[in-house]
Structure 1
Amino acid sequence: MRPALTITPLFNDSSQQILDLILPIQQIEFNVPITLEGQPDLLNVEAFYHQTGGGFWGAKSNDELVGTIAMIATGHQACAVRKMFVKKEYRGKEMGTAELLLNTLLNDCRAKGITDVYLSTVDMLKAAHRFYERNGFERRKSEEMPAYFPRMTPDNVYYHLHLSA
């Protein structure tokens, strides 16, 4: 049974909840070699996302943050997806958390006239790859990504989705 989820924009007052969700998934669950120091955006989502034309959203079950997704507006009618994380207990097609988060971001893209959605991830996140591909994203080589796409270490798998007008 699907939990009752609410998708809402997240701001700086949610920084601790964001950190408490994302860092353990990155560092403990998936052993991604990244620290908070390498992600200053997590401490100031308003400056990095909202104030630049992007956004940062959270999925909440009651008052608990169980998922996040963010968008960096890059100009060129394009954006970069960032910080797509879902708590283990809320993952999977049956739960629908990732789908709700992605649809929120894509609806925001359409409203802003963004037609090209790019993202990067790491090779070990196979379930994420399947999710993106199931949602129409096409895998790209690093050199096929536009120069304006903001790259993140340790990402090494790239995707693109073209939104119809």
Structure 2
Amino acid sequence: MNILIVPIENDHSVAVVDLILNIQQKEFNVPITLEDQPDLLEINEFYHKKGGCFWGAFADGELVGTIALVKYDDSREGAIRKMFVKKEYRGKELFIAQQLLDTLIDFSRQNDLNDLYLGTVSILEAALRFYERNNFVRIEKETLPDAFPVMGADNVFCHLKLNE
């Protein structure tokens, strides 16, 4: 199977919405809607124009995973968003999640970011273990940078220092 990870833009919004909402709503029963995530329809505006990026993982042409970097102010910090991999493409055999995260971290380092933050929900236990294996440290919400864009559903937060 050929896995390709590339930056994607608004022309992939329909596939992105389909992938992410299915995982959020049907697989994990997270009470979130498309209206709660207008960024999914405005990928260029929310991610690329502000200095971040939105990547898609394609398996033989099908979108099977996403990850995004939000550059939320003029500092050297970024927020990881929209890290999703289709259930049948998860796991150590294909390493899609790892490839997505490595792509984002490489981009962040090349763009002189020092810190990455993320918010997630506690029911995504496998995701939390994955981030911790990648040297992310859980932090309290109160210690997030003031400019960090907190999502309503998030209740667990993590931080990665890039230049250590």
TM-score by length of 2: 0.97
Alignment of 1:18-33 (within 5 A): 18-33=16-31
Q: Which runs of 4+ in 1 moved over 6 A?
A: none
Amino acid at match of 2:101: L
Unaligned runs of 5+ in 1: none
Q: Distance in 1 between matches of 2:33 and 2:92?
A: 29
Amino acid at match of 2:118: L
Q: Distance in 2 between matches of 1:93 and 1:20?
A: 24
Aligned to 2:110: 111
Aligned to 1:154: 153
Residue 94 of structure 1, CA deviation: 2.4
Residue 92 of structure 1, CA deviation: 1.2
Residue 4 of structure 1, CA deviation: 2.0
Amino acid at match of 1:32: V
Q: Deviations over 1:103-132 (max 9, x none)?
A: 000010011000100000000000000000
Unaligned runs of 5+ in 2: none
Aligned-partner SS, 1:80: strand
Residue 144 of structure 1, CA deviation: 1.2
Matched-pair identity in %? 55
Aligned-partner SS, 1:52: coil
Q: Distance in 2 between matches of 1:94 and 1:133?
A: 19
Aligned to 1:85: 84
CA RMSD across the alignment: 0.9
Amino acid at match of 1:48: F
Residue 93 of structure 1, CA deviation: 2.2
Alignment of 1:122-141 (within 5 A): 122-141=121-140
Residue 62 of structure 1, CA deviation: 1.1
